[in-house]
Amino acid sequence: MTKFSDLNLNPKVLKAVEETGYETPTPIQAGAIPPALEGRDVLGIAQTGTGKTASFTLPMITMLARGRARARMPRSLVLCPTRELAAQVAENFDTYAKHVKLTKALLIGGVSFKEQDVLIDKGVDVLIATPGRLLDHFERGKLLLTGVQVMVVDEADRMLDMGFIPDIERIFSLTPFTRQTLFFSATMAPEIERITNTFLSNPARIEVARQATASETIEQGVVLFKGSRREREATEKRAVLRALIEAEGEKCTNAIVFCNRKVDVDIVAKSLKKYGLDAAPIHGDLDQSQRTRTLDGFRNGELKILVASDVAARGLDVPSVSHVFNFDVPSHAEDYVHRIGRTGRAGRDGKAMMICSSRDEKNLDAIEKLIQKTIPRLDNPLKKAEATEDAKAEETTEKKPTRTRSRSRSRSSSGSATETAKVAAVEESKPAAVEVVESAPAASKKNDRSDDRSRSSRGSDKRPSKRSDNKVVGMGDHMPSFIALSFDERRAG
């Protein structure tokens, strides 16, 4: 088995490596370091988390240990796609070059130009920069690239995705033709291959894993999600994410949640905070100081959940990330490999889960074609919770069948009694059809009684007997008795 001591590195560099606790190089390191020390161009293709950074920093420090830097003319150049990755490379140089007297400068956005100009004016052995800030210094006349001996392009495929390829080509043209080029990428898109054919001379190609493959130590899964209504889809999707995180329980020691858009990064982070989860956002629109504080807190264990855009998909060297959650399916299939590569690093176990809505199924198919495997489907945790609640409700109703039946019986019995009463009332009303008219003149009957009293005082006793003989039949051809009574009274008067 190859060890670092077998790679012809500078003894001071070996001492720094031993102090970090590493003894055996990774496959990409064992393959890239020897040709790099020989002065050859190197094309390294390896998945994220395999140790590509050390595969170019260790030979660079060994080669740069001899010589001296000149003002405004760096001896080596490392290009990185993001500020975070550039800062991480600078930390690696500090770690492995602590026993070697080398100077370095970090040129990234969000930092004052004056501080960077002071370092460049003194002269640096290693210049680590993002393409945009490097060209800004060059156009201001503060930097010359004619003294670059070794040039490194890290995460070249990410450079392509971020639109830096024209800047990379321009920077290549500003460096000497005799430079040594170390080119590293996780995938090899056609555009990347064109650049390597143009600017690399007979490179040693080291490919330690199939292009765009995920580590075997990462357990993958995807939840197929469909919202109940379009206006509630985003809210329900965030609920699914929270349910996935909570379902992992103590297994989820820390996690990175990836979103496709910066706006969603802020919204998801606020949602997780609202429901009691320790989360913070990081994306390109935040101040560099805030991004640095957030990353430091995540690395130190002070922050549990980091909600990030793809700016954090590369170069975050946090070895102990237990989970990665893809809130959105990445639009580029290669980004999926880089995202889930944040977990399961250095041989550790990791877990990566993704939420796929119906509109993202095409992107999911592209990812499965790229990694050449089917991602296992996971049950929606919210549906599980709803099914459990429904089962509990059914058990509750099954435990109380008698009460429900008795209620229904009482209701039916009371209903039947009511119907019976209604029928009886109708039948009683049938023979009373003749008496309806009789009940109508009740008030006049009272008057009749008073009139009878007056007549009795006059000595007339014929009217009551006559009234009793005249039964009211109806309002047809027969005249009602109360009409006749008035005429009789007039005659008697």
pLDDT in tens, 370-382: 888 999 999 988 8
pTM attached to this predicted model: 0.64
- How confident is the model at residue 417, as a pLDDT? 46
86 and 106 in contact (C-beta within 8 Å)? Answer: yes
Q: Is residue 410 part of a domain?
A: no
* Residue 165 shares a structural domain with residue 266: no
Q: Residue 436: what pLDDT? A: 37
* Same domain, yes or no: 176 and 224: no
Residues 6+ apart with CB under 8 A from 263: none
pLDDT band for 254, please (50, 70, 90 cuts): very high
Tell me, yes or no, whether 110 lies in a domain: yes
The answer to whether position 282 is within a domain reads: yes
Q: Which residues of 438-452 are buried (b: 16+ CB within 10 A; e: fewer)?
A: eeebeeeeeebeeeb
Residue 78: strand, helix, or coil: strand
Task: Provide the edge-to-edge strand list for the sheet that holds 279-282.
Answer: 279-282, 305-308, 255-258, 323-326, 350-357, 218-225, 377-378
**Residue at 408 is within a domain:** no
Mean pLDDT of 278-306: 88
Answer yes or no: is 418 within a domain.
no
Q: Is residue 404 part of a domain?
A: no
Each residue of 370-416: pLDDT tens digit? 888 999 999 988 876 554 554 455 455 445 444 444 444 444 444 44
Looking at the fold, whether 203 and 228 belong to one and the same domain comes out as no
Half-sphere exposure of 56 (CA within 13 A, CB side): 30
Distances in Å between the Cα of 459 and the Cα atoms of 209, 295, 375, 455 are: 135, 122, 117, 6
Same domain, yes or no: 232 and 155? no
Q: Is the pLDDT of residue 125 over 90?
A: yes
- 133 shares a domain with 235: no
Instruction: Please state the rounded mean pLDDT for residues 124-136.
Output: 95
Rounded Cα gap, residues 428 and 51, in angstroms: 101
User: For position 247, what pLDDT does the model report?
Assistant: 92
Q: Are residues 44 and 136 in the same domain?
A: yes
Q: What are φ and ψ of residue 109, in 5° steps?
A: -70, 160
> What pLDDT, on a 0 to 100 scale, did the predictor assign at position 307?
94
- Count of domains observed in the chain: 3
Long-range CB pairs of 169-173, under 8 A, 24+ apart, other chains included: 169/195, 169/199, 170/135, 171/77, 171/79, 171/131, 171/134, 171/135, 171/145, 172/199
Whether 426 maps to a domain, the answer reads: no
Question: Are residues 144 and 226 located together in one domain of the fold?
Answer: no
Residues 87, 180, single domain; the answer is yes
Instruction: Tell whether 348 and 459 lie within a shared domain.
Output: no
Q: Give domain status of residue 419, yes or no.
A: no
What is the CATH classification number for the domain harbouring 328? Answer: 3.40.50.300
Position 420 scores a pLDDT of 46
Largest CA distance in the chain: 157
Q: Taking residues 18-27, report their average pLDDT.
A: 89
Dump pLDDT digits (tens) for 419-430. 444 444 444 444
| Cβ–Cβ under 8 Å, residues 7 and 28 | no
Q: For residues 289 and 378, state if they share a domain.
A: yes
Alpha-carbon span 483 to 493, nearest angstrom: 16
Q: What is the model's pLDDT at position 434?
A: 37
Query: By three-state DSSP, how is residue 407 classified?
Result: helix
The residue-averaged pLDDT of 310-331 equals 80
- What pLDDT is recorded for position 46? 83
Residue 311's pLDDT is 67
Question: Which of the four pLDDT bands, split at 50, 70 and 90, describes residue 163?
Answer: confident
pLDDT at 448 over 80: no
What pLDDT score was predicted for residue 109?
A: 85
- Residue 482: exposure state from Cβ atoms within 10 A (0-12, 13-18, ≥19): middle
Q: Domain boundary at 207, 227, 255, which? A: 207
Same domain, 96 and 182: yes
- Write down which residue in 155, 175, 207 finishes a domain: 207
> Which of these three, 140, 173, 207, is where a domain ends?
207
pLDDT tens-digit readout, 170-212: 999 999 999 999 999 877 888 889 999 999 999 999 988 665 6
CA dihedral over 268, 349, 156, 58, signed as positive or negative: positive
* Cβ 306 vs Cβ 282: under 8 Å: yes
Report the candidate in 477, 474, 455 with the shortest Cα–Cα distance to residue 466.
Answer: 455
CA 190, 194, 196, 197 torsion-angle sign: positive
pLDDT at 450 over 50: no
Lowest pLDDT segment from 94-108, 235-249, 268-282, 462-476 = 462-476
Strand order in the sheet with 42-45: 104-107, 126-129, 76-79, 150-153, 180-185, 42-45, 204-207
Q: Tell me: pLDDT of 442 over 50.
A: no
Domain of 60?
4-207
Average pLDDT, the chain: 80
192 and 119 share a domain? yes
